[in-house]
Amino acid sequence: MRNKILKLIPVVFFLFLRADVHPAPQPHAPIRAYLPVLFSKVMRIDSCGFLWCGVKASAYDFYIDAGSSRATENGTETFPFKTVGAALDYIKDNKLKEKSVFIKKGIYNEAIDLTGGTDLVGEDRHETIVNAEGKSYGMRFYATSSRVSNLTIENASVNVKVDKKSKVIISNCSIKDAGSNGIEVDRSSYSTKRKFTLKNSSVKGSGGRGMYIFKRKIEVRSCEVQGNGGEGIDLHSRLRGKIFSNDIRNNDESGIEMIMSGTKISLKGNTISGNKAQGLTIQVYNETKGKIKVSKNRMTGNSGYGIRYARYDRGKLRMKFQDFIRQCVKLSGNRISGNGDGDYGYL
C-alpha cells in the first residue's frame, strides 16, 4: 500500500504544476478544468512514517473581491466578481439555486437582494463590509432560504430586511449604524421553513430599534444588542421561539419589549442592563393569553423597572391584571436589582 501511495505523489505534483500555468476556467466548465480550485496541497507524515498527500474540496461556488485587478470576472477564485451584485445577478440570470458565495475583505458600497437559496460568507467579520449608505436596505432576503456569516452590514435606513417567505440564519455578523431599525423581520408562519435566526452577532447604533420582529418562529442567541435609539429588541404579538444568552444594554428604550397576545417565548440567560426605560416590558392589549418563560436573566441598572407589565386593554380583561400576568408569565432564577423605578411594575 505504501508503495502505491508513493507512486501517486508525482502525479499529484504534476496536476499542481499544470494548475499554476493555466488560466481559471469558466463556471460550469468540465471538471478537469477545476483542478486548481478543487485541490489544495495538503501533505503530512503520519505516526507510521507514511507520506500522505490529501485533497480538499473547494468550499464555495463563486468568489467576490472588491480589490481584484483582473479585467476578467467569472466568479472563480482567480477571476472573482468585484461586487456582490454582479455575483448575484449572474446566479439569478442563469437560474442557479443554492449557491455559496465567498466575499473577500473589502468595502462593498451597495445594497444586496438575496434570493434563490444563495449563501454569503465573508472573509472577516470586521473587514468585509457592506456599506449601504443612502439605501433603503443593506441586505434584503426575498423568498429564500439563506445563510449569511462573517460580514458587517452598515449605514442603510434598515440594515437587514427579511420578508415573509424567507428562512434566514445570520451568524457572526456586525449590524450597525442603521438610520432606522437595524433588523426588520416581517410577519410569517410558525413553520421552521420561515424561521429567523440571529446568533453570535451584534446589532448596534441604530437610529430606531435594534430589532423589530413580527409573528413567526425566531431564535436570537449569544448576541450583543447595544446603543440603539429605540428598544433593543421589539417583539410584536404571536411570536414563537427563544431569546437566550444575549447582552442587551444601553438602548434608549426598553432592552426587550413584547406584546403578550398569543406569544409563546422563552427568555433565558440574558444580561439586560443600562437601558433607559425598562429591562423587559410586557404589554397587554387584550385578554388573549401568552406563555412567556423568563429564567436565569440578569436585569440591573435600567432606568425604569426591571420588568414592567404594561396594561393597555381598556378594561377588556375579566380578571385582575396581576392574576392574568401570573397565568401567562413564569419567572424563575432571575437576578433583578438596582433598577431606577424598582424591580417590578404593574402599570
278 to 152, 251, 253: CA distances (angstroms): 29, 10, 7
Please state, in angstroms and rounded to a whole number, the distance separating the CA atoms of residues 233 and 187. Answer: 15
Helix/strand number for the chain, H first, E second: 4, 33
Beta strands 42-45 and 51-54, pairing class = antiparallel
> pLDDT tens digits for 66-83?
999 999 999 999 999 999
Please state, in angstroms and rounded to a whole number, the distance separating the CA atoms of residues 277 and 208. Answer: 14
Q: Which CATH architecture has domain 59-185?
A: 3 Solenoid (2.160)
Please state, in angstroms and rounded to a whole number, the distance separating the CA atoms of residues 79 and 62. Answer: 10
Three-state DSSP class for 28?
Answer: coil
As beta bridge partners, residue 345 has: 308
Neighbours of 254 (CB within 10 A): 29
Q: Which of 41, 37, 82 is nearest to 60 (CA)?
A: 37
Please state, in angstroms and rounded to a whole number, the distance separating the CA atoms of residues 57 and 37. Answer: 8
Question: How far is residue 268 CA from its own chain's centroid?
Answer: 19
> pLDDT tens digits for 8-24?
444 444 443 334 333 44
E-assigned strand segments in 49-149: 51-54, 62-64, 100-103, 106-108, 112-114, 119-122, 128-131, 137-141, 145-149
Cell of 94: 442563469
Cell of 153: 452590514
Q: Where are the domains of the chain?
A: 1-58, 59-185, 231-347
Please state, in angstroms and rounded to a whole number, the distance separating the CA atoms of residues 31 and 51. Answer: 27
- Distance in Å from the first CA to the final CA of the chain: 78
For the chain, list residues with pLDDT below 50.
1-2, 4-6, 8-57
Encode burial over 73-102: b for 16+ CB neighbours within 10 A, e otherwise: bbbbebbbbbbbebbbebbeeeebeebebb
- Element spanning 162, H or E: strand 158-162
Q: Which of 253, 298, 295, 282 is nearest to 347 (CA)?
A: 282
Contacts of 15 (CB under 8 A, 6+ apart): 35, 39
Beta strands 298-300 and 305-311, pairing class = unpaired
Are residues 274 and 232 in contact, defined by beta-carbon separation less than 8 angstroms?
A: no
Are residues 296 and 259 in contact, defined by beta-carbon separation less than 8 angstroms?
A: no
Neighbours of 316 (CB within 10 A): 12
